[in-house]
């Protein structure tokens, strides 16, 4: 019986020691600033690990599940031994995101945290509308004083003594649809030719009618290609493509596309 007590004591001590060690290695994330579309944070340099990946991903909007879409951002060493995480103008207003710091060498998670982006100026932000039991974090003008409480504590339905709505937001400006790319854009012409000749796969074009930066194919190993913007010529290849090589290949592809001769013909 004494041996059993000793064994239990040793296990408890080992568990407490392990927890303390994990807390000691914990990476503290400091939120520098955030708004409806951007998020800036930083974390101190971790001496034993010199290479990090940072992932910012959509998690949930209030209590409604959303597609899990990874949005990778670069972390650069700054003065004072800090890495800065900067997701500029790439996030959605009023959404819940998960930030994860990875050990680049081992592809293991070192720290994660959740954060909400703010609502934009044209929507009403529920003061108590986040967390378990919430409905929506951001409301359009049409949802204010419509007889249905969308915020958890009904602050979107508050009225003045004369019956007018006590809360309001500016009208959202109408955004004209984007102009279609010119009909003689190189990728558009290549796409039409591929359709006529029943050639697959069809070229992927961007909003300007140029060839998209990258195309990926599943050929046993997931392989991605960097394409010339005007000819679709392959400028670089990344075999066995994964999110963990996304940054370097994407950055290199952009540089190659910018340096590519603009007067090339297919």
Residues 81 and 111 in one domain: yes
Domain annotation covers residue 72? yes
Residues 50 and 92 in one domain: yes
Domain annotation covers residue 64? yes
Domain interval for residue 38? 27-116
Residues 160 and 127 in one domain: yes
Residues 190 and 111 in one domain: no
Domain annotation covers residue 15? no
User: How far is C-alpha 206 from the geometric centre of its chain's CA atoms?
Assistant: 20
Residues 161 and 127 in one domain: yes
Domain annotation covers residue 6? no
Domain annotation covers residue 265? no
**What is the C-alpha separation between 205 and 207, in angstroms, rounded?**
7
* pLDDT at residue number 15: 65
We report the CATH number of the domain holding residue 212 as: 4.10.800
Domain annotation covers residue 58? yes
Phi, psi of 243 (to 5 degrees): -55, -25
Domain annotation covers residue 85? yes
Element (H, E) at 75: strand 75-78
Residues 191 and 170 in one domain: no
Residues 109 and 158 in one domain: no
Q: What is the 3-state secondary structure (H, E, C) of 124-185?
A: EECCCCCCCCCCCCEECHHHCCCCCCCCCCCHHHCECCCCCECCCCCCCCCCCCCCCCCCCC
Question: What is the number of domains present in the chain?
Answer: 3
Tens digit of each residue's pLDDT, the chain (266 residues): 566 666 666 666 666 555 544 444 567 788 888 888 888 888 877 666 667 777 777 775 444 443 334 444 555 555 567 777 887 777 888 877 888 887 776 667 777 888 888 888 999 988 765 444 444 578 889 999 999 888 878 888 999 999 999 999 999 898 888 889 999 999 999 999 999 999 888 899 998 999 998 888 765 567 888 999 999 999 998 887 665 556 677 778 888 999 988 755 44
Residues 191 and 213 in one domain: yes
Residues 107 and 39 in one domain: yes
Whose tokens are 């944070």? That residue is 41
| Residue ending a domain, choose from 76, 101, 116 | 116
Domain annotation covers residue 155? yes
* pLDDT at residue number 234: 92
């Amino acid at each position: 019986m004494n041996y059993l007590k000793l064994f239990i004591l040793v296990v408890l001590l080992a568990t407490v020691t392990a927890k303390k060690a994990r807390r000691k290695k914990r990476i503290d994330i400091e939120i520098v600033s955030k708004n409806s579309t951007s998020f800036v944070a930083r974390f101190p340099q971790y001496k034993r690990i010199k290479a990090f990946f940072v992932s910012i991903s959509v998690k949930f909007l209030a209590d409604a599940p959303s597609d899990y879409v990874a949005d990778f951002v670069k972390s650069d060493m700054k003065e004072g031994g800090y890495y800065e995480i900067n997701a500029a103008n790439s996030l959605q207003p009023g959404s819940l995101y998960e930030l994860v710091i990875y050990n680049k060498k081992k592809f293991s998670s070192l720290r994660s945290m959740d954060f909400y982006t703010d609502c934009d100026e044209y929507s009403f932000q529920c003061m108590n509308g986040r967390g378990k039991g919430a409905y929506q974090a951001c409301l359009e003008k049409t949802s204010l004083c419509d007889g249905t409480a969308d915020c958890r504590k009904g602050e979107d339905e508050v009225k003045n003594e004369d019956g007018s709505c006590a809360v309001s937001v500016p009208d959202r400006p109408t955004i004209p649809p984007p102009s279609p790319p010119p009909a003689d854009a190189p990728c558009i012409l290549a796409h039409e030719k591929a359709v006529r000749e029943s050639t697959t796969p069809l070229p992927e074009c961007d909003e300007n009618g140029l060839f998209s930066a990258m195309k990926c194919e599943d050929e046993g190993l997931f392989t991605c290609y960097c394409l010339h913007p005007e000819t679709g010529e392959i400028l670089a290849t990344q075999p066995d493509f994964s999110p963990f090589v996304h940054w370097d290949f994407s950055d290199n592809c952009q540089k190659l596309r910018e340096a590519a001769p603009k007067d090339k013909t297919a």
